[in-house]
Homo-oligomer: A and B are copies of this chain.
Amino acid sequence: MTPHTPAQSESLLYWDDFREGEVRVFGSVVVKQEDIVRFAAEFDPQFFHLDEAAARQTMFGGLIASGWHTAAMTMRMMCDGYLRRSTSLGSPGVEQLKWLLPVRPGDTLQVRLTVLEARPLQSKPGVGLVKSRHEVLNQHGQVVMEMQAYGMFGMRPASA
């Protein structure tokens, strides 16, 4: 993988390209039961993420994905949707990560991103901060997860 080299048909996204109020919808991931269980076995071995029969007895009514698995799948959609063709320099953090509805085997997820704020980063010349709302939608259009995340992006050089 070559850093910051987008596919020929796409242009590289700089900090300058994020506009406040802009909305992007992207991604499509089908949540498989085996992936829910595999993630949970490694990172979140609570029984309602591992055991369908036991989960049915809980208030969740069946197996649900770890919230961290949903967050990780969201990150993958963000990478494929725009980060990998951007000057992304990572993230200092996230505000208000909310798991609003269960994510279940067979669900299909996508991301709706709204740019909330874009400002230069005082401490790092040539780098800007983008604050975005990320809503994760299931196939019924329900918001299953929501977060406000910060991302750092390189600014467009004068030559670009």
Q: Which A residues contact B (CB, under 8 angstroms)?
A: 1-3, 39, 42-48, 50-51, 54, 57-60, 64, 66-68, 71-73, 75-76, 79, 83-84, 88-100, 124
Residue contact A45 to B84, C-beta cutoff 8 Å: yes
**What copy number does this chain have within its complex?**
2
Question: A interface, by DSSP: helix, strand, loop or mixed?
Answer: mixed
A36 to chain B, nearest CB (A): 14
* A73 cross-chain contacts in B, Cβ below 8 A: 43
* A72 cross-chain contacts in B, Cβ below 8 A: 39, 42-44, 68, 72
Extra contacts besides A1-B47, A92-B100 (8): CB < 8 Å: A2-B47, A39-B72, A43-B73, A46-B84, A46-B88, A67-B93, A94-B97, A95-B95
Cα A50 to Cα B79 in complex, Å, equals: 13
Cα A54 to Cα B96 in complex, Å, equals: 32
Cα A102 to Cα B152 in complex, Å, equals: 15
